[in-house]
Chains A and B, each alone.
Chain A
């Protein structure tokens, strides 16, 4: 079945550091890939997505590229801010069923 594996946290960085959160997936067919973010006390929000190989999703300075050859969708940001502190989830979906399969989540803390 489909599955998502992302790097374990927690991850702690200083402000303006470079961020990478690794995500790899196993899936049949051609899934869409997502990154969701959960800020403290709030629901999950879609951060970015990519629907086919080599697509790059980007939002709020975050980027991730759909790499079919390595089955990866790593999240990157060049310079993180304290406000980026949150839990980040990598996910994939089967477009037919709309079902989302999530990774385990990575807690990110940015210190000033």
Chain B
């Protein structure tokens, strides 16, 4: 089946620094990728929809200047958490779309901001 990878799988950073998370579709091209955030024991919340070659569409309440998304190619999308703070600590998950209603998920990236 289709494989989506994320890198890094976990990261610890100091408050005020920026962290970049990569999401790659390894064996297919994805025009659309999605970024989710998952708090402990809670559901996945969609943060933004990323389309190759265009600006990401952010969900209500998500700061676009805080969470920078770049979808530079059909196999790579990046999420940069800028000036991270402890409240940004979370589990970030991406998915890549292979047609309507078919999303393949990455294994997630755990971010801890000290």
Contact A100 B100 (CB under 8 A): no
Given contacts A43-B93, A98-B32, A99-B49, contact A89 B105 (CB under 8 A): no
Main secondary structure, interface of B, reads strand
Task: Tell me the chain B residues, 42-94 only, with Cβ under 8 Å from chain A.
Answer: 42-46, 49, 93
Tell me how far the C-beta of B109 lies from the nearest C-beta in chain A, rounded to whole angstroms. 11
Contact A95 B100 (CB under 8 A): yes
Chain B contacts for A105, CB-based, 8 A: 41-43
Given contacts A43-B4, A43-B108, A44-B93, contact A98 B42 (CB under 8 A): no
Task: Tell me the chain A residues, 25-46 only, with Cβ under 8 Å from chain B.
Answer: 32, 36, 41-46
Neighbour of B107 across the interface among A36, A41, A104, CB < 8 A: A41
Chain A contacts for B44, CB-based, 8 A: 44, 89, 100, 102
Task: Tell me the chain A residues, 66-82 only, with Cβ under 8 Å from chain B.
Answer: none
Best-buried of B41, B49, B106 by chain A (most CB within 10 Å): B41
Contact A98 B105 (CB under 8 A): no
Task: Tell me the chain A residues, 48-102 only, with Cβ under 8 Å from chain B.
Answer: 49, 51, 89, 93, 95, 97-102
Task: Tell me the chain B residues, 1-38 only, with Cβ under 8 Å from chain A.
Answer: 4, 32, 34
Chain A contacts for B100, CB-based, 8 A: 95, 98
Given contacts A43-B4, A89-B43, contact A100 B103 (CB under 8 A): yes
Chain B contacts for A89, CB-based, 8 A: 43-44
Chain A contacts for B34, CB-based, 8 A: 98-100
Neighbour of B105 across the interface among A43, A101, A104, CB < 8 A: A43
Contact B46 A43 (CB under 8 A): no
Chain B contacts for A49, CB-based, 8 A: 101
Measured CB to CB, the residues of B under 8 A from A are 4, 32, 34, 41-46, 49, 93, 95, 97, 100-108
Complex A-B: 15 CB contacts under 8 Å: A43-B4, A43-B93, A43-B105, A45-B105, A89-B43, A89-B44, A95-B101, A98-B34, A98-B49, A98-B100, A100-B46, A100-B95, A102-B43, A102-B45, A103-B43
